[in-house]
Amino acid sequence: MGGLGTKIVRAAGLFGFSGGVTNWLAIKMLFDHVPGLVGSGVVTRQFKVIRQTVMETVLDTFFDADYLGSYVVDKAAAFANSSFLSDKIQLILQDPAVEVAVEKELAAMGMRPEGMMLMTMGMSTVRSHGAHTRDYTSL
Reported as a single tens digit per residue, the pLDDT across 20-75 is 999 998 888 889 887 887 888 888 889 999 999 999 999 888 888 888 888 899 98
Distance of CA 121 to the CA centre of its chain: 46
Q: DSSP of 49-86, one letter per residue?
A: HHHHHHHHHHHHHHS-HHHHHHHHHHHHHHHHHSSHHH
The whole-angstrom distance between residue 25's C-alpha and the CA centroid of its chain comes to: 38
Give the Cα separation of 13 and 7 in Å (integer): 10
pLDDT (mean) for 114-133: 65
Amino acid at 129: H
C-beta neighbour count of 40 within 10 angstroms: 19
Question: Measured at the alpha carbon of residue 44, what is the angle toward residues 35 and 28, in degrees to the nearest 5?
Answer: 55
- pLDDT for 23 equals 94
Average pLDDT taken over every residue of the chain: 83
Structure-model confidence comparison of residues 123 and 33, the more confident one: 33
Backbone dihedral angles phi then psi of residue 96, each to the nearest 5 degrees: -60, -30
pLDDT beyond 60 at 130: no
- What's the confidence (pLDDT) of residue 115? 79
The amino acid present at 24, given as its one-letter code, is: W
Question: Which of the two residues, 129 and 47, has the higher pLDDT score?
Answer: 47
pLDDT above 80 for 129: no
Q: Alpha-carbon distance 119 to 127, whole Å?
A: 13
Tell whether the model's pLDDT for residue 134 goes beyond 80: no
Task: State yes or no: pLDDT of 138 exceeds 80.
Answer: no
